Chain A
């Protein structure tokens, strides 16, 4: 559930070089679009279902075709989406959130049509020619990525250590004093025991995370492990011990939820969150960070 407050797209951005709704500058003139924001690459894209979509700059999306591939793009103004403006705007949480959601909304809509390789946020070219040149230059990579993700979707699983990773809270550190100054010694002993069991609990928790990831990976054609999300971002007191993406054949999606449910039963001390399906962001082409797991029939 999204609870981060978000200014309306037209609201907070008005004071800065930002979109004002319909690709118009603050003076009301049409902004000269001289950038092309690239959302994603597919083989073919049907535009009719995308006619009502509005993108990061508030404008319609269109396509650029080259080398047998199709890029889904939007004309954007460099006043908001050029290098300097982007550096500023990416620091603005409201702008970043609105832009990320608009970027995803377009990608998600196009992904419904077929295999699609999303671009990282803020991929901007100076025009159709350079966009097309990029397609031609990278066509082999894009085709490999399309093949890798075709007929598959991404699912995300996050795991959090439960409260019992901090044991020893039940036992007090004050207790009956032993003979001869035993209170201090007793405290120290109890503290040592507490630390030892915390350490064991953490080790067990991490071992559980590995077991969980291994089991989930068995169902995936590929996996990618993301860094745990910072606690300031999630707001969770419990540490995140797994943040991973799994690429699953389309027909395995429903089973995956069952697998996660079973893992919840098996690991009651750990909170598991499942998200998805996602367009294949995590498998678009960062091959060096991808783990390919063996697929079981």
Chain B
């Protein structure tokens, strides 16, 4: 199988691979590149009222500043290089 394809075979729609049982979800999740995951879980997904709201006393929700999320992405600069991604 073409190795640069990057599509994890287990995640091909089941209609295509009826004969192959899907691997353990926990294993599959580990193979996803963190940057791709963060694009989605930090910048995607439903946002409630623009912020998640933290409750103190009688306020009902837990709030975090979205700025904190953006800041934490920038700290990934210290994460270092992914050799798979460099070069062709």
Contact = CB atoms under 8 A, between A and B. Distances in A.
> Do the two chains bind?
yes
Interface of A: 1-4, 35, 41, 78, 81-83, 86-87, 90-91, 93, 96-97, 100-101, 103-105, 108-109, 117-126, 129-130, 133-134, 138, 141-142, 145, 153, 156, 158, 162-163, 224, 226, 229-230, 232-238, 243, 245, 250-251, 253-254, 257, 261, 271, 273-278, 281-286
Chain B: interface residue count, which band? 35 or more
Interface of B: 2, 4-7, 11-13, 15-16, 25-26, 28-48, 52, 54-55, 60-65, 68-69, 71-72, 75-88
A145 B63 contact: no
Given A87-B64, A235-B86, A286-B47, A100 B41 contact: yes
B79 A4 contact: yes
Contact of B29 (A105, A226, A245, A274): A105
A36 B66 CA distance: 19
B6 to A, nearest CB: 5
Contact of B84 (A3, A78, A83, A121): A3
B7 to A, nearest CB: 5
A226 B39 contact: yes
A284 B55 CA distance: 25
Contacts of A281: 40-41, 44-45
Given A2-B31, A120-B41, A134 B13 contact: no
Contacts of B52: 120, 122-124
Contact of A130 (B11, B60, B64): B60
Contacts of B86: 235-238
A271 B41 contact: no
A78 to B, nearest CB: 8
